[in-house]
Each structure stands twice: as structure tokens, then as C-alpha cells.
Amino acid sequence: MANLGFVGLGAMGSRMVKRLLDAGHNVTGYNRTKSKAQWLLDLGMKWADTPRAAAQAGDLVFSMVTNSEALRAITEGPDGILAGISTGKIYVDMSTVSPAAIRATVKRVEAKGADMLDAPVSGSQITLEEGKLSFMVGGKREVFDRVLPILQAIGPKATHVGANGLAVSMKIATNLSLAVQMLAFSEGVLLAEKSGIARETAVEVLLNSVIASPMVKYRGPFVLKMPGEAWFDVNMMQKDLLLALEMGRHLDVPLPTTAITNQMLTAARGMGFADKDFAVIFEALARMAGIKNGVKE
């Protein structure tokens, strides 16, 4: 049993906390909107009024936020995580942010006598609930080894990929493929549909074909009916693609399919789909193909 702090109780963070509570750990959590965390409080989570209080309450503190700006918001200032970090503590950020943001935060954490890991995840809400989430982790190996048993309470697989910042680099490299695959799947469905094959039939065939990756199996059915709540919305996915394109520019790696998919996400945003799951890229492409009935809500 460990004393843990957790900052950021959104769709993924809250489900992670539930798994930690189920494993018997003591968790003190913070979220901007307390009401969204009430169900976790009912399960035994303790409440922190600030990120600093969450960090002070745990020997190990986790965070899971949307982007680099949000990471700065929860770490800096008199109420931030850095103000609550002290010698011997470990800070694990699981957000998908820029490698530069991670490395800058690491320097400040280490100046307090603490250690930091970047540990973004691969998987969705469903993957997490099924206990199949995986981590990629950057930082000191000995710190990773200490944290590993707690990470495995959230998801069974954690891979140490190297120094701080490399895990988020790996996550960005992973996420660009999610959107690219979704666009390719959408193209296939629409090509079949406009040739006269029922959309449902095309989806069934593709989901039972060699192209059916785990991501396609999870999200492919969304071209028939979108989820009521986005698993990972257009804005979030486009944030990751823009991080990938920036990395590609710095590292001289051409990313042509990423660039095209990014433009399709811009089209989806222009059509008013910013808060929809990024699988709505199908709807944007369908409209461009002259299909008016779209995806059922």
C-alpha cells in the first residue's frame, strides 16, 4: 500500500485512480472541478484543494493533463505540484506533452531533491477498464524500477525507453499512427460505400481483415455510430499531430501521411466537430465525398 497524490481526474485520470484504489493504495486527488471527482470520493479517495496539497500528501504524485500549457499550470506557482515536492519524492507525469516541457520540468523537480518520470500511456478508456493499458516510461532506470509495481496496478505493461523526454517522444510517434489509420480506414469504407456496398457490410469485412489493428477494432464501429462521449477528441488528437510534425521538422523526418491527416482534422474542426472523438474524421471525409447522411449520434 502506497500513499499517492493524483492531479487531473478527467476521463483517463479518474479511471486510473479507481484502479489504484481497487489495488488498496491511498490516493489523494485534485481536479479543477470537484464535482466530477465525487464518485471517486465515494470510493475512498481523499480530496486535495490544490495540486500542491496532492503532492504533499503522496510519496509519489501522478498527473494526467491535456497539454504542455496545462502541465505548467498544475506545476508552477504557490499552489503547484513543484511547491509540494520535497526530497525523496517521485513525480510521474502521464500527459502527452512536448519533450522540451518534460525536460524543463525535470530540472525543477530535481532541484527540489526529487525525481521525475514521464510515463504516457497507450490505450483508451476501454483498454484501461479492461486492465490492458501500457506505459512507456522515460527517466532514471532505478526510479522506474521503484515505481513499476504501482504502474502495474493501472496497466500490466510498462517499458523503460530511456532518459526523460523519450517516453513522450515515443507516445507522439505512436499517436500519429492512430489518426493516420483512422483516415485510411475511413477512405476504405467510403470507397466501398460509394461503389454500392452497404456501410455496415464494409465495416464488417474490414474489421475481420488483415488491416484490423486493435485501434481499428475499437474505433472502426464509430463510423456507424459515434460514442456519446469522445474517447479522444479532435482537438486532443490534433495537438499530438502538431507535436509530431514539430518533432519531424527538428529531426529531419518527413511525415507526409501525418501532415495530410492533420489537415483532415482541421477540416473536421471547421465543420464543428472539435469536441467529437477523432473518429469523426470519417464524417468530414464523407461530406467531402458528397455523402449527406453521415454518422449516427
Active site (catalytic) residues: 171
Q: Which residue has the cell 471547421?
A: 270
Specify the 3-state DSSP secondary structure of 213.
coil
The SS3 call for residue 229 is coil
Give yes or no for a contact between 1 and 24, defined as CB atoms under 8 angstroms apart: yes
The residues pairing with 26 across neighbouring beta strands, listed in sequence order, are 3
Q: Are 44 and 1 in contact (CB under 8 A)?
A: no
Q: What is the DSSP letter of 65?
A: -
Calpha distance 271→99 (Å, rounded)? 31
Cell of 85: 515536492
Q: 118 - beta bridge partners?
A: 93, 138
**Distance separating alpha carbons of residues 225 and 73, to the nearest angstrom:** 36
- What is the per-residue DSSP string for 102-152? HHHHHHHHHHTT-EEEE--EE--HHHHHTT--EEEEES-HHHHHHHHHHHH
What's the DSSP call for residue 221? G
Cβ count near 156 (within 10 Å): 12
> How far is Cα 227 from Cα 238, in angstroms, rounded to an integer?
19
Alpha-carbon span 193 to 188, nearest angstrom: 9
